[in-house]
Structure 1
């Protein structure tokens, strides 16, 4: 058995109990969790990735609070509504995993307010948290970070466990697909799981690069504002194919080579 295969947390296969569309969403979401872990962006059992259930606008899938990202499978995901009620969950036995309150509040806020968004990702990486504490925010000092030249910010006001916080989160995100939660972490969204993952991967890389450059104790090159703006526009949806369209099949092949149990 591969080292990452689900063992003590094994749950019954749900594929015959859900629609083909929901099952595919479950497989892709489980893959996203495995990839976030594979690329060093997980935080033990904390953080969440959610996806809207196809055909069920008031429901989304999210991880059970208690599983490591490397353990998550298509069948182990929970289906909840916008108020945090569990609509479907596997039998976890005596562990009886449920939903993390903070994760539900953050993710439900965006799913409720923005029907065009299918997937929401939130991370607590060292790089993302470090940049979230900087007054300068994310600098557009590399081609990759210029994709996020107009990134949104949300000021820290405590652990997000109250539903009253939802509107403020939505207002802070605005029309962007990425948000830096100050003194907290990173958040990306997408019309698809591949889009949201691609954004998170590149945002994380941007944060790491900024920290590396700022650590060298040398003056950084500032790119002219008009060049930053033009580069930013080159990353917008109307000028290119959707992000993740080519990446995702390759990433799934990578996971299948490492450990295909995410599909269970």
Structure 2
């Protein structure tokens, strides 16, 4: 597949980040993890600590391309020309993590059916299968305070996140963050699948909890399989090839 030419005004690093993020939006659309024109995947621009890329508000994820992503600062102000606005209700939440969590280079927030369903249960995500077992003890929770447009909620988000990088926003949805986009992608895949399977399990019968001793072995062995710097790289690359065959316009 031919690679789109980088616009002269952009560095190679920013263009590569734009293509990677645009691909991720297309993958989410392909997998049905989009929500009309809402929700966000944001990515730090390499070498620019306070510059981020985010989806142009008003476009469906299937319309996102490398060139129409919006570059913003930590406060959500646009850096450079773009005809598209940024959804404040979304970036207020992302900005607090980008600002206060040093390794939060990529942040994903969604409103999928499975994610919102589990977020709306009192017990939240329970370790009853392969995927939720990986997340036992790894997920933070934040109580719903309404649409995220008030900056003062940020302190509570950070406090509730603690040292976790997976968060269930109660009555709201899922949020993950990671040092790289491929790692954030595979982390999101794990928690989304865990929510889907938990919904199916409850419909099938009484959930069977995985013993704590087995969870410890499970987490140890799975996370030893891939070096941290390679987390998500192969999985993300596989889906990039799929969307390239469907519609490579995300590269432009």
Q: How does 1:166-245 map to 2 (within 5 A)?
A: 166-216=154-204, 218-236=205-223, 240-242=226-228, 243-245=231-233
Query: Which aligned runs of 4 or more in structure 1 are off by greater than 3 angstroms?
Result: 233-236
1:119-171 Cα offsets, whole Å, 9 max, x none, are: 00000000000000111110111111111112111111111101111121122
SS across alignment from 2:49? strand
Task: State the alpha-carbon separation in 2 of the partners of residues 75 and 128 from structure 1.
Answer: 30
Residue 242 of structure 2 is matched in structure 1 by 254
CA distance in 2, matches of 1:156, 1:177: 18
SS in 1 for 2:67: helix
Q: 2:53 pairs with 54, 61, 68, which one?
A: 61
Question: For each residue in 1:204-233, what CA deviation from the matched residue of structure 2 results, as whole angstroms up to 9, or x when unmatched?
Answer: 1110100001012x2222221111222233
1:16 alignment partner, SS class: coil
Other structure's SS at 1:223 match: coil
SS at match of 1:215: helix
Distance 2:161 2:8 in 1: 37
Q: Distance in 1 between matches of 2:59 and 2:79?
A: 19
User: 2:83 matched to 1:116?
Assistant: no
- Does the 8 Å contact 1:80/1:86 carry over to 2? yes
* C-alpha contact 1:111 1:117 (8 A) present in aligned 2: yes
Runs of 5+ in structure 1 lacking a partner?
1-12
Structure 2 residue 27 is matched with structure 1 residue 47: no
TM-score, L = length of structure 2: 0.93
1:149–1:89 CA distance, 2 compared to 1 (3 A): farther
**2:86 counterpart SS class:** coil
Question: How far is the alpha carbon of 1:235 from its aligned partner?
Answer: 4.3
Distance 1:219 1:72 in 2: 41
SS at match of 1:75: coil
1:38 aligns with 2:1: no
